[in-house]
Amino acid sequence: MTEEIERSTARVRFAGISPRAYEHPADRGALALLRAVPGIGPVLQAVAGAFTERGERLVYLASSIRVGPKQYPNLDRIRLDTAATLDIDPVPEVFVQRNPVPNASTLGIDKPFIVITTGLIELLDTEGLRFAIGHEMGHVLSGHALYQTILQRLMQLQYSLGWMPAGYWAIRAVIAALFEWYRKTELSCDRAGLLCVQDPAAALRVHVAMAGGMDGSQIDTAEFLKQAKEYEQVEDIRDSVLKLVKTWPLTHPLAVVRAAELQKWAASEEYRAILTGEYARREDDRPTSSFTDDIKSAAKSYKDTMSTSEDPLMKVFNEFGEVLAGTAGKVWSKFGNSPNN
């Protein structure tokens, strides 16, 4: 207990930190594009307005364990500490759900709350749980819970619309857009989790465990990260297509990809600067985010990734993107500053 208190006091806290300090540019760009999907506004408003979050919360209140000083006190300390690290107030509730599948999620529209499974608690050590709960706190701070809740509701709603083809496919289109955005939020919130645990090795152990590493003594983390490189270095374009087919319906990026992406950020100047107090603050955030800035930032992120990728399909996309970006730039310079725009 004394060792845990010492670690807690040694960790840096980020007063007034803005989610933009840790958000992956692809996350912000995907959200901007999500909001631009034709017809998505009315669908999201209708789904959000048709329910209240009270229903979801009441279900977990009646079927799960609410974390507090007398129930899972260690988790409660982590809950309070990670919220303090990211300067989140009020502190979200955490519920423990009986489920052998390791998982965690954040739900709610007006008052987000976090749900973690017993499978996750059994799988991770204390620092791993700090990373996982910090990850979910990142979802809270970034305001992801609204869209995550809507996605969950749409997944349930699509089955009731199966008899109506037009309604079904409209819902499917919105779900596909939400999935693409959701995968990008995981990259952002892994960064938030790292800011809470402030130990890249602990974060890597979580990704190893989620990939199947039950006994850390039998896993070489360097070898694990080589898998990400091997996954990236496919030589046959057919493998590239297979990767797209296998990943588009997933809510989370693949474990080795997430691990490599986070370890890259952990070694960056950006991460080190945040630890020394150089980070974007909420008080400086603009009232509304710029669609154009977010798209440009996301485009640069994708371009940087594609230009260094050894995946043959990504190289094709990069060459096509160069042409497309050049054409778009010429169109914008001609029409973008029009008084009618």
Tell me the per-residue pLDDT of 255-270, one tens digit each, with 9 for 90 and over.
Answer: 888 899 899 999 999 9
Segments forming the whole domain that contains residue 181 = 18-333
Q: Angle of helix 221-232 relative to helix 200-211, nearest 10 degrees?
A: 70
pLDDT value of position 313: 41
Please check whether residue 339 lies inside any domain of the structure. Answer: no
Instruction: Give mean pLDDT in consecutive 10-residue pieces for the chain, a chain of 341 residues.
Output: 56 95 77 56 54 75 97 98 97 97 88 95 97 96 74 58 48 60 84 98 94 87 86 56 48 77 95 97 72 51 51 44 43 44 45
Please check whether residue 224 lies inside any domain of the structure. Answer: yes
Please check whether residue 204 lies inside any domain of the structure. Answer: yes
Please check whether residue 1 lies inside any domain of the structure. Answer: no
pLDDT value of position 148: 63
Please check whether residue 69 lies inside any domain of the structure. Answer: yes
pLDDT value of position 210: 92
The total of structural domains in the chain comes to: 1
pLDDT value of position 274: 98
pLDDT value of position 278: 97
pLDDT value of position 338: 44
pLDDT value of position 143: 82
pLDDT value of position 16: 97
The contacts of residue 155 (CB under 8 Å, 6+ apart) are: 175
Please check whether residue 6 lies inside any domain of the structure. Answer: no
pLDDT value of position 178: 63
pLDDT value of position 152: 62
Sheet holding 113-117, edge to edge: 65-66, 94-97, 113-117, 104-107
- Give the separation between CA 28 and CA 306, rounded to whole angstroms: 18
Q: 0.95 cut: is pTM over it?
A: no
pLDDT value of position 110: 75
| Residue 200 vs residues 8, 205, 268, 288, 340: alpha-carbon distances, Å | 16, 9, 12, 32, 49
Please check whether residue 22 lies inside any domain of the structure. Answer: yes
Please check whether residue 301 lies inside any domain of the structure. Answer: yes
pLDDT value of position 109: 72
